[in-house]
């Protein structure tokens, strides 16, 4: 740190909790902090505490592969994620922080006729809703990413791809830090190392939250804790359809810039992009069974490396720098769960599976609206928790974790 040009702190650290807040947000990840930011900025609700049991951005926010896109399959999903992409575009200016938002162009490769059909379906839905997305043949992929071995070593040749030019990457921690700073500047308190251990409900209404630092009275609580949602909802006896699986990722050692597109293969279960630091950021499919642990496995890197070499054989000598895992709270229909709950004053932002980072701005905006008005924002109405009881699911087959 420079003495001559000291960097101001990103957010205030109040040393004690107040006995009462207008709203409490559980989870200081991107979603929780974005909700706090928009509550303060757009709705004038500034007496807000964001409670985080660990450190800011410790969960899925800092563990994803930072891809932003909106070429989903359902109209509900496309509208929602496209609004998020639109917000992301000028978020750096909005938060006055360089998020390294970088438009790359996103290719989802198809290695089979069945995949090609789904891609065509997605492209048509996307175009109908005004999203820049099209089905392209191998010649376009060769032009945009000449390093790719389209024959995949002869095993599963690439037949085409869903091409989404607005697909982008960004620095994920900065998104959380930017929202945190913006919220803090507007009066929101961020409390790290503060774990919510219970939610007090009186007459069907939220009365406050119990924490490891004492009781806090509040009439509105937002749970934005992704993989820890089932534990929070158990505090109020609300069942959810969430099943938690680890999602692993890794980065290579830094390389000279050579990959300026985002390459995803649905069939090989692989996604790869090159960060501004030169590392290849790579992810694969979910771990195959329920687990509430962020451990890494050799199985994962082995499988991923094998598939990566099918696409880019020249990477054989490149080393893996580090690997990690995050908790993905999967829903049965691959859409999130957002909005009100059976408990008055308790709001839910969950079910973020493998699609949470790209939704950060729109989640903040719509959940802030929902909290302020006690009415779900129209964009998230289809994602209500009660849709399962009503057998009215939103089957999002455009999610990264769905095989085609």
Partner 1 sequence: MKVMRCPVNGWRPIQEFSYGGAFRPMPQPGECSNRQWADYVFHRSGAAAVKKEWWCHLASGVWFIAERNTSTDEILETYLHGEDGHHE
Q: Which of 293, 306, 342, 403 binds partner 1 (CB under 8 A)?
A: 293
Binding characters for partner 1, 63-102, by CB under 8 A (x = yes):
----------------------------------------
175/224 with CB nearer partner 1 = 224
**Minimum CB distance to partner 1, residue 232 (Å):** 9
Q: Does 229 bind partner 1 (CB under 8 A)?
A: yes
- Identify whether the C-beta of residue 35 lies closer than 8 Å to the C-beta of residue 232: no
103/269 with CB nearer partner 1 = 269
Residue 61, phi then psi, degrees to nearest 5: -55, -45
- Identify whether the C-beta of residue 387 lies closer than 8 Å to the C-beta of residue 395: no
Kindly identify the residues of this chain, within the stretch 325-344, that bind partner 1 according to CB under 8 A. Answer: 329, 332
Cα 280 from Cα 147, distance rounded (Å)? 14
Of 43-51, 52-60, 95-103, 293-301, the window that binds partner 1 (rule: CB under 8 A) is 293-301
Q: Which of 18, 239, 277, 375 binds partner 1 (CB under 8 A)?
A: 239
- Identify whether the C-beta of residue 265 lies closer than 8 Å to the C-beta of residue 306: no
CA-CA distances (angstroms) from residue 249 to 15, 236, 308, 320?
Answer: 35, 33, 13, 11
Binding-site size for partner 1 (CB under 8 A) equals 25
Q: Does 240 bind partner 1 (CB under 8 A)?
A: yes
- Identify whether the C-beta of residue 158 lies closer than 8 Å to the C-beta of residue 110: yes
Name the β-bridge partners of 370: none
Q: Does 231 bind partner 1 (CB under 8 A)?
A: yes
**Minimum CB distance to partner 1, residue 331 (Å):** 9
- In the three-class reduction of DSSP (H, G, I as helix; E, B as strand; rest coil), residue 181 is classed as helix
Cα 234 from Cα 345, distance rounded (Å)? 16
Q: Which of 299, 322, 374, 378 binds partner 1 (CB under 8 A)?
A: 299
Q: Which DSSP letter does residue 173 get?
A: H
- Identify whether the C-beta of residue 187 lies closer than 8 Å to the C-beta of residue 46: yes
Binding characters for partner 1, 366-395, by CB under 8 A (x = yes):
----------------------xxxx----
Name the β-bridge partners of 325: 248
317/389 with CB nearer partner 1 = 389
Which residues in this chain contact partner 1 in the complex, by CB under 8 A?
229-231, 233-234, 239-244, 288-293, 295, 299, 329, 332, 388-391
């Amino acid at each position: 740190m420079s003495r001559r040009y000291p960097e101001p702190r990103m957010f205030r650290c109040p040393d004690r909790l107040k006995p009462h807040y207008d709203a409490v947000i559980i989870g200081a990840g991107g979603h929780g902090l974005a909700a706090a930011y928009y509550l303060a900025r757009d709705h004038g609700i500034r007496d807000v505490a964001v409670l985080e049991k660990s450190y800011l951005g410790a969960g899925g926010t800092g563990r994803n592969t930072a891809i932003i896109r909106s070429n989903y399959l359902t109209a509900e999903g496309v509208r929602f994620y496209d609004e998020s992409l639109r917000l992301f575009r000028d978020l750096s200016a909005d938060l006055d922080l360089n998020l390294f938002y970088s438009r790359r162009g996103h290719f989802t490769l198809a290695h089979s006729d069945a995949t090609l059909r789904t891609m065509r379906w997605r492209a048509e839905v996307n175009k109908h809703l005004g999203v820049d997305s099209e089905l392209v043949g191998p010649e376009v992929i060769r032009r945009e990413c000449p390093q790719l071995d389209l024959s995949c070593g002869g095993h599963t040749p690439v037949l085409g791809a869903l091409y989404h030019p607005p697909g982008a990457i960004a620095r994920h921690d900065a998104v959380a830090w930017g929202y945190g700073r913006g919220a803090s500047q507007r009066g929101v308190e961020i409390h790290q190392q503060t774990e919510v251990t219970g939610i007090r409900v009186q007459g069907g209404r939220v009365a406050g939250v119990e924490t490891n630092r004492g009781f806090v009275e509040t009439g509105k609580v937002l749970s934005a804790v992704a993989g820890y949602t089932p534990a929070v909802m158990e505090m109020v006896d609300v069942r959810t359809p969430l099943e938690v699986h680890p999602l692993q990722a890794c980065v290579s050692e830094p390389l000279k810039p050579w990959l300026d597109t985002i390459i995803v293969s649905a069939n090989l279960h692989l996604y790869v992009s090159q960060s501004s630091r030169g590392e290849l950021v790579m992810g694969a499919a979910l771990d195959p069974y329920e687990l509430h642990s962020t451990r890494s496995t050799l199985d994962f890197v082995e499988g991923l490396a094998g598939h990566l070499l099918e696409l880019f054989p020249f990477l054989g000598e490149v080393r893996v720098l580090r690997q990690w895992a995050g908790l993905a709270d999967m829903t049965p229909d691959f859409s999130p769960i957002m909005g009100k709950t059976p408990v008055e004053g308790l709001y839910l932002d969950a079910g973020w599976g493998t699609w949470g980072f790209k939704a950060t701005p729109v989640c903040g905006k719509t959940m802030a609206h929902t909290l302020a008005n006690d009415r779900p924002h129209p964009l998230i109405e289809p994602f209500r928790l009660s849709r399962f009881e009503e057998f009215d699911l939103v089957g999002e087959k455009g999610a990264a974790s769905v095989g085609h």
